[in-house]
Each structure stands twice: as C-alpha cells, then as structure tokens.
Amino acid sequence: MIKTVAIQGVKGSFHHIVSQEFFSKPVDFIECMTFDSVVDSLTTQSCDAAIMALENSIAGSIIPNYALIDKYGLHIVGEHYLDIQHNLMALPNQSIADIKEVYSHPMALLQCKEFFKSHSHIKLVEDKDTAEVAKRIQEKKLTGVGAIASVAAAEIFELDVLAHSIQTIRHNETRFVIVKRTNSEVPENEINKASMKFEANHKRGSLATILNVMSDCKLNLTKIQSLPIVETPWKYAFFVDVTFESYDDFKKAKSIIDIMGEEFKVLGEYKNAKL
C-alpha cells in the first residue's frame, strides 16, 4: 500500500495535484526540487513511490527522466494525464504592468512564450519549480515579481491571478508516471499497457524488425523515444510504450524482442490511462 510519494516541487505544483488525483486514498508527500532528489528518495526507501513527468503535448519528452528510470531500475506502475493550465500570478494589488520579472520552470516558460511577446517589459527567468516560486513570492513579499503556476498554487500562497491559461496552446497535457522499486502493482488481467527499453544493432532493418514483431503480436505502438548511449557514440537505446488487449500477446512479444533486441528491459506494466 502506498502511503508516501516523492514529488518534484512543493504543495500546489502539478506533481502535487497528480498525487491527489491518482491515488484512491490520501497520501503524504515528500517535496523535492529536482528529479534526481525524487529518485533518491525512492531508492533510499524514504517513500513508497514517486511521481515523474515524462512528456508534454506541447514541449515533448522529458528525456532525462527516461534515463533516470532506466539507470536506477525503477518500475512504472501507473500513469496519469493532467490538463496543464498555466497562470500568471503575483502578490495582490498589482497589475501586469507592475511585473518586471517572472520566474518559473523552464518547461512552463517554454509553453507560455507567446503570451510574453506582448509583454516585452517582463524579464523571464528559469527556476526549479512553478509552485515554489509562488511560495517564495508569498514568504518574501516580493513585489514586481510574478510566477507561472497552477490556480491551486495561487490559492495556497494567497496570490492574485493576473492572467489565466497563458500557455500558447490551450489544450496542454502532461503525462505523469508513478514509479516504484518493484513491478508488482497491477494484476495481470488488468494490464493493457507497457513501457520497454532495448538497443538495436547497426544491421540494416534491425529496428524495423523489432517494430514488426510488435505489430505481428497485436501491440499498438503509442510512443517511441531514442536516447544516446553515452558509453557508445552513435548508438541509441529506444524507449517504447505499447498498448494491447491481451496480456498473452504482450508476453509473446516480450519473449521474441528479448532474443532480437540488445539490453532488453521492461520498465513497467500497468493500466492505460487513455482509454
């Protein structure tokens, strides 16, 4: 049973919101400023699980998190999609004209860059976390400084929202995964999605052959992401997500890919949250 989870950010962050929405029962959370700290909390058994963002519908994959899950042998046991609405906020009794600097996570700044083209007087500064900036503004009573964060963060830290939903694309969704040290969370008959990693050799068609195996075994490829192998220049590992109706089909595919692919690893087997 999961009682404590590690999140990147503080109360009011998007990871914190996921921790509230995903679990059927309330969980305690450990606030971490970096994903390395999130993983460290899990591997040292300071928590039962961790929540990590993996990809965003606007900005794409968060590649370092794939590497962390792989490096530390973690297992994805669930996923959660969150509608991300970015809001500009500051201490009360200020307008956008009063704001000289806005601090937020680099991903949030990237997703909102079009909004700030019409507010050229504002300097954008990268920071570690969206909600942590909101917290800092409240604690230090920083005037002339804004944050980009969730409405929940504005409410928690008593800030005024100066502009709602300022992300460039209105439909902005992030996929989060729940990871544990072991892969025994979901009953086999309920598993219909999996994440895998493998390396393909330089022989012509080696990657295509593995992808054909997935197709032949009735697996639907929903994600493929390459990641350079640092120790071997110009060789890549591939991270893939697949969905399926029958777990037996997945087991068959696993047994074949294990033979054909190099360094094959199942990173997680879980329920598809996008049904």
- Rounded average pLDDT over 158-165: 98
Q: Residue 104 in 3-state DSSP?
A: strand
Q: Please, which pLDDT band fits residue 229 given cuts at 50, 70 and 90? A: confident
pLDDT at 34: 94
Q: Which secondary-structure segment (H or E) carries 125?
A: strand 123-126
Q: Please, which pLDDT band fits residue 275 given cuts at 50, 70 and 90? A: low
Q: What whole-number percentage of the chain has pLDDT above 90? A: 82
DSSP tag of 54 = E
Q: How many CA atoms within 13 Å lie on the side-chain side of 37?
A: 11
Alpha carbons 177 and 186: distance in angstroms, whole number: 14
Kindly list the structural domains of the chain, giving each domain's residue range(s) and its CATH number in brackets, ordered by start.
Answer: 4-84+172-180 (3.40.190.10), 87-163 (3.40.190.10), 191-269 (3.30.70.260)
The mean of the pLDDT values for the chain is 94
Q: Please, which pLDDT band fits residue 235 given cuts at 50, 70 and 90? A: confident
- Supply the pTM of this predicted model: 0.91
Which tokens sit at 176?
């989060």
* pLDDT per position as a tens digit, 179-208: 999 877 689 999 999 999 999 777 788 899
Query: For 56-65, 71-80, 157-166, which range has the lowest pLDDT when averaged over its residues?
Result: 56-65
Better pLDDT: 271 or 261: 271
The pairing of beta strand 160-163 with beta strand 193-199? unpaired
- Rounded average pLDDT over 19-46: 96
Whether residue 10 is predicted with pLDDT greater than 90 in this model: the reply is: yes
